[in-house]
Amino acid sequence: MPNATFHFPPDFKWGVATASHQVEGHNTNNQWWAWEHQPGRIAEGQTSGQACDWWLNAEADFDRAAAMGLTTLRLSIEWSRVEVAPGQIDTAALERYHEMLQGLRDRGIEPMVTLHHFSDPLWLTEKGGWTNPDVVPYFSRYVDQVVQALGDLVTLWCTINEPNVYATMGYILGKFPPGTQHIRTAAIVLRNMLKAHGAAYRTIHQRRDDAQVGLAHNIRFFDPADPKRIRDRAAAWIQDLWFNRTTLAAVWQGWWLPPLGFGPALSVRRTLDWVGLNYYTRDLVAFDRKGDIAGLARTVHDETAEPLDGGYGELYPKGLSRALEQLARLGLPIHITENGIPDADDDQRPRALLLHLHQLWRTIQNNVPVKSYYHWTLVDNFEWTEGWTLPFGLIELDPQTQTRTPRPSSDLYSAIARGNAITPELLDAYAPELRPVLLPG
């Protein structure tokens, strides 16, 4: 098939994903703002500052997304802007979010709204954050206010982004606030986040009959470095249990798996109308008693694989199809809520984009119900502990001047979205070395 075209379903949606703290600027009332102003927390001492200036000027980037032919955009609501103190709602903030969502609709772009994307109000942190069981009703109260104010413009709701990452990075690895390294505390946090998801699911459906509610789950494969070595297999299995399986077992099967507990999770069972997949890379896991992963293992990388910039891992597009095939067992619609790579000079991104989207196309041919793809991200943004050092944007950003410069991959993604297909001409123009890989014969 030397000249085959890979067509996507007629109703498939193409978009980009963002998060409030990473793009809005001056979110001074959350725990991340406080964290990034502590010495040594962020790469090169950087701060989010003005970020991408979305709070004042998001519509300019909405215009860019529309010009690319995108039909959906994922953004998050900043809890700390909406609920500035316990029970105290800033109606002006909700009006600004309504204005932004209307702006997307006016441009023919459907919004997906995430209600929690890593950032917490400072008042919640002072109450113990997600270790406090009262966070479940607190979150429901906030969600109820948001849905009342914005529900007329939103159908797709994502309750929580990557609860497994939040718990792991903040409470096991200690790289996110509050910088704790205690697996039992991490288990409490993840369990409370999943309970809050379940409560939010019910709150949203009580307010909106038309709502479609899910969460964004990060799947990262942990493959044994040596499949013949039982200790490597065991170390990989344990990490897979914690990171990948506990969340879905609770919110779909309705069962707590260790270390979250063991028994029925009835309050969160079947609380998904769709499931979101965030996929980036994988790890090879070697058993090591002195390892950096809970004193159990260390991460190694396949020496034959192409490394990603910034030590972000390896380019492993096959992982996308592996993850989608796992999620297909739930029998739910799937949205790829994040996928991308950091690449300042854009020498890897076109190839990575084409390889991942080809894996997506192959998976859809097997009747896996993937409805949309959200590239991470539109414009370079503040990447948490990595600051501005990991540029994921299709569009380059100078955070000091706010100057935007489209990368070649933005034109490639625009062409795929507009044509709803990967064509031989696109392969030849952006990654000719892939032609014999994707179009053999």
Separation between Cα atoms, residue 155 and residue 281, nearest integer Å: 30
> What does the pLDDT read at residue 298?
85
Separation between Cα atoms, residue 356 and residue 433, nearest integer Å: 15
Separation between Cα atoms, residue 427 and residue 441, nearest integer Å: 15
Residue 177 Cα distances to 95, 169, 294, 301, angstroms = 29, 8, 18, 27
Strand 334-338 versus strand 403-406 pairing type: unpaired
Residues 6+ apart with CB under 8 A from 183: 171, 172, 259, 294
> What does the pLDDT read at residue 300?
86
Separation between Cα atoms, residue 310 and residue 358, nearest integer Å: 25
> What does the pLDDT read at residue 21?
99
Peptide bond into 259 cis (omega under 30): yes
SS3 245: helix
Largest CA distance in the chain: 64
Q: Would you say the pTM of this structure is higher than 0.95?
A: yes
For CA atoms 168, 169, 174, 177, give the dihedral sign. negative
**Helical segments of 208-256, H only:** 230-240, 246-248
> What does the pLDDT read at residue 292?
63
Residue 300: phi, psi to the nearest 5? -125, 170
Distance of CA 70 to the CA centre of its chain: 18
> What does the pLDDT read at residue 346?
98
Per-residue pLDDT of the chain (441 residues; tens, 9 = 90+): 678 999 999 999 999 999 999 999 999 999 999 999 999 999 999 999 999 999 999 999 999 999 999 999 999 999 999 999 999 999 999 999 999 999 999 999 999 999 999 999 999 999 999 999 999 999 999 999 999 999 999 999 999 999 999 999 999 999 999 999 999 999 999 999 999 999 999 999 999 999 999 999 999 999 999 999 999 999 999 999 999 999 999 999 999 999 999 999 999 999 999 999 999 999 999 998 776 666 578 888 888 999 999 889 999 999 999 999 999 999 999 999 999 999 999 999 999 999 999 999 999 999 999 999 999 999 999 999 999 999 999 999 999 999 999 999 999 999 999 999 999 999 999 999 999 999 987
Separation between Cα atoms, residue 299 and residue 216, nearest integer Å: 24
Asked if residues 349 and 409 have their Cβ atoms less than 8 Å apart, the reply is: yes
- The structure tokens listed for 309 are 């910039």
Please provide the size of the chain in residues: 441
Separation between Cα atoms, residue 82 and residue 90, nearest integer Å: 5
Separation between Cα atoms, residue 217 and residue 277, nearest integer Å: 5
> What does the pLDDT read at residue 295?
58
Strand 297-300 versus strand 255-256 pairing type: unpaired
> What does the pLDDT read at residue 303?
86
Separation between Cα atoms, residue 83 and residue 142, nearest integer Å: 7
Strand 221-224 versus strand 282-287 pairing type: parallel
Q: Kindly list the structural domains of the chain, giving each domain's residue range(s) and its CATH number in brackets, ordered by start.
A: 6-220+265-283+313-438 (3.20.20.80)
Q: Report the chain's C-alpha Rg in angstroms.
A: 21
Of 22, 109, 120, the closest CA to residue 79 belongs to 120
Kindly provide the residue ranges of all beta strands, DSSP E only, lying in 229-379, ordered along the sequence.
Answer: 255-256, 263-264, 275-278, 282-287, 297-300, 334-338, 370-375
Distance of CA 36 to the CA centre of its chain: 20
SS3 205: helix
